[in-house]
């Protein structure tokens, strides 16, 4: 016996659109309505006798795709997304996969979700990201994906990194080390750009700079500092592209006998709660996580609940939300 899922698949629409067509046809575009009704007829689908029964067939869930959970920044995204989705009567189905596009295809085919919000982990390799139509709305946050989505919401990485770097110069650092993130990510490129922008825009002069690649882990921050110290670089200011690497950097400095902030000032990026409890407490660019997630989820659910069916697939619509510099002991000279 054909199901509402079969109708949605044949018509190329969401479950929600099938429901609206059968229960509130006046709010559905005529072209879309004709496709759905043609699918109903072709499949000999018999709708449930009540709208309530059909609404139960809807997924009433959105997918949240993340590359991993070891970074405490990602669980904070899950919590914020779940709270916002619940306000609209939706639950969140989380899928962790190092290939986000593969996870999106899986969720779209499963019929378990009506839209997807994702954090990608690949830098777009093409000038125009390749077009992917999953048949359901897809939005992104934190990182610009390598494939087309409706919109991306993220902190203003360039500006945030710039003001952190300017702060390091303002407190007297002149030999700066930037520990960058994974090289396949747009946030890495943008925060490195912000590092150089901050140097260029500051009234203070940097005598020497180094950039060493990390991978957003404690260990890579530790290793980056050990590397530059072994090379003889007299670093006195460090901007790490995330808080975990900044904490790792502080541990390496302390191991080498250097004091923070007296000898070296250190700042991170993200605003994780742990930055308030490490010693010294960490200066960081705090991301407005709730604001980013709320905007992402709200946009996604507006798309899911809208009678509009044509997905724009632009991925050029990037919404950048300013972060806040939180000054703490690690730069308090």
pLDDT in tens, 274-292: 999 999 999 999 999 999 9
pLDDT-derived band at 316, boundaries 50, 70, 90: low
The per-residue pLDDT for range 160-196, each reduced to its tens digit, is 999 999 999 999 999 999 999 998 788 999 999 999 9
Q: What is the arithmetic mean of pLDDT over 203-209?
A: 96
Beta carbons of 240 and 214 less than 8 angstroms apart: yes
At 37 the pLDDT is 87
The per-residue pLDDT for range 69-121, each reduced to its tens digit, is 888 888 989 999 999 999 888 899 999 998 888 899 899 888 889 899 999 87
At 126 the pLDDT is 44
Residue 152, number of CB atoms within 10 A of its CB: 22
User: DSSP secondary structure string, 82-112?
Assistant: HHHHHHTT-EEEEEE-SSHHHHHHHHHHHT-
In terms of pTM, does the model score above 0.85?
A: no
Q: CA angle at residue 147 from 143 to 151, to 5 degrees?
A: 55
In the predicted model, is pLDDT for residue 17 greater than 70?
yes
In the predicted model, is pLDDT for residue 309 greater than 50?
no
Q: Report residue 318 CA to chain centroid gap.
A: 12
Beta carbons of 167 and 327 less than 8 angstroms apart: yes
At 315 the pLDDT is 45
Q: What percent of the chain has pLDDT over 90?
A: 57
pLDDT-derived band at 215, boundaries 50, 70, 90: very high
Cα–Cα distance for residue pair 189/181, rounded to 1 Å: 8
Average pLDDT of the residues of the chain: 87
Query: Which DSSP helix (H) or strand (E) runs through 319?
Result: strand 318-321
Q: Report residue 305 CA to chain centroid gap.
A: 23
Beta carbons of 284 and 243 less than 8 angstroms apart: yes
Tokens of 278: 């490490």
The per-residue pLDDT for range 28-68, each reduced to its tens digit, is 788 888 888 888 888 887 664 434 444 444 558 999 999 88
Q: What is the arithmetic mean of pLDDT over 295-319?
A: 72
At 313 the pLDDT is 44
The CA-based diameter of the chain, rounded to the nearest angstrom, is: 77
Cα–Cα distance for residue pair 130/115, rounded to 1 Å: 19
Cα–Cα distance for residue pair 233/222, rounded to 1 Å: 15
Beta bridge partners of 139: 117
Cα–Cα distance for residue pair 31/177, rounded to 1 Å: 58
């Amino acid at each position: 016996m054909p199901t509402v899922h079969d109708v949605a698949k044949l018509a190329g629409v969401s479950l929600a659109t099938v429901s609206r067509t059968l229960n509130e046809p006046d709010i559905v575009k005529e072209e879309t309505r004709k496709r759905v009704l043609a699918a109903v007829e072709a499949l000999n689908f018999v709708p449930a006798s009540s709208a309530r029964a059909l609404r139960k067939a809807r997924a009433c869930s959105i997918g949240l795709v993340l590359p991993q959970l070891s970074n405490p920044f990602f669980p904070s995204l899950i919590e914020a997304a779940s709270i916002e989705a619940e306000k609209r009567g939706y639950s969140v189905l989380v899928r962790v996969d190092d290939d986000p596009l593969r996870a999106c295809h899986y969720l779209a085919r499963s019929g378990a979700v009506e839209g997807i919000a994702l954090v990608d982990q690949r830098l777009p390799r093409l000038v125009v990201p390749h077009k992917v139509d999953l048949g359901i709305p897809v939005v992104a946050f934190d990182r610009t994906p390598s494939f087309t989505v409706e919109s991306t919401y993220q902190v203003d990485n360039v500006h945030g990194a710039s003001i952190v770097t300017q702060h390091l110069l303002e407190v007297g650092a002149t030999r700066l080390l930037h520990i960058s993130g994974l090289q396949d990510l747009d946030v890495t490129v943008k925060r490195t750009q912000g590092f150089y922008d901050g140097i260029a825009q500051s009234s203070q002069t940097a005598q020497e700079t180094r950039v060493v690649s990390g991978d957003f882990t404690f260990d890579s921050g530790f290793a980056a500092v050990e590397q530059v110290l072994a090379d003889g670089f007299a670093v006195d200011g460090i901007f790490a592209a995330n808080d975990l690497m900044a904490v790792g950097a502080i541990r390496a400095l302390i191991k080498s006998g250097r004091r923070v902030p007296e000898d070296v000032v250190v700042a991170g990026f993200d605003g994780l709660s742990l930055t308030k409890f490490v010693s010294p407490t960490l200066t960081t660019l705090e991301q407005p996580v709730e604001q980013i997630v709320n905007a992402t989820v709200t946009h996604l659910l507006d798309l899911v609940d809208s009678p509009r069916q044509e997905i724009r697939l632009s991925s050029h619509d990037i919404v950048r939300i300013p972060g806040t510099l939180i000054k703490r002991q690690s730069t308090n000279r």
